């Protein structure tokens, strides 16, 4: 499924390679499929007049919802555990408020930890690393250029596609 335990998407490693010519972009897309043995659905060509650019850039609608749920659940639990650990450390250190009111202190510390974890889950769900990738494609469309989009299933596939597309003259932008 995913090489990132915080997301629910099949492809976490995406890249966009911008080309000036549609024919060069098509040849590059075909080369990525053939040379790297990728499934054709992993490689998309986006032209300046593409009506479905958003779907080609982020095709995993259900995966995004899974990412939202998984990231919030896991990070919320992590935050709760971090809050419990902080409470235990404060008890061990003998912090007066914690020792005198352990129930209130534990509830507050765990609640703050959980909220912090949920906020981090929200950050993961927003996928800030995708902004550059999407912006590069949208800018290329505005400049009447074509983009080859690769939905790699691993960092290795992403790196191989990056090298191949850059060697063919593409200006490559990738997600983290």
Task: Give the pLDDT of residue 39.
Answer: 84
- Candidates 35, 56, 37; CA nearest to 45 is 56
Sequential DSSP letters for 20-70: S-HHHHHHHHHHHHHHHT--GGGEEEE-TT-TTHHHHHS--HHHHHHHHHH
pTM of the model: 0.65
As a whole number of angstroms, the distance between CA 84 and CA 142 comes to 51
Rounded-to-integer distance, Cα 129 and Cα 101, Å: 43
More confident residue, 66 or 176: 66
Question: What pLDDT was estimated at residue 37?
Answer: 84
pLDDT score of 101:
94
The whole-chain average pLDDT of the chain stands at 85
At residue 59, the pLDDT reads 63
Nearest CA-CA partner of 147 in 51, 28, 52, 11: 28
Residue 17 scores a pLDDT above 60: yes
What pLDDT is stored for residue 138 in this prediction? 85
């Amino acid at each position: 499924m995913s090489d990132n335990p915080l997301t629910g998407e099949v492809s976490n490693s995406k890249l966009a390679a911008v080309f000036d010519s549609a024919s060069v972009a098509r040849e590059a897309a075909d080369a990525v499929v053939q040379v790297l043995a990728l499934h054709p659905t992993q490689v998309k060509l986006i032209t300046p007049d593409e009506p479905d650019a958003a779907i080609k850039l982020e095709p995993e609608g259900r995966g995004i919802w899974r990412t939202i749920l998984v990231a919030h659940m896991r990070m919320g639990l992590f935050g709760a555990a971090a809050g419990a650990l902080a409470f235990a450390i404060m008890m061990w250190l003998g912090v007066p408020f914690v020792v005198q009111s352990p129930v209130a202190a534990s509830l507050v510390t765990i609640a703050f930890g959980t909220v912090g974890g949920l906020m981090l889950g929200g950050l993961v769900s927003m996928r800030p690393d995708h902004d550059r990738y999407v912006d590069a494609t949208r800018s290329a469309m505005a400049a009447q250029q074509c983009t080859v989009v690769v939905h790699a299933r691993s960092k290795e596939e992403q790196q191989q596609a990056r090298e191949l597309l850059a060697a063919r003259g593409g200006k490559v932008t990738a997600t983290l």
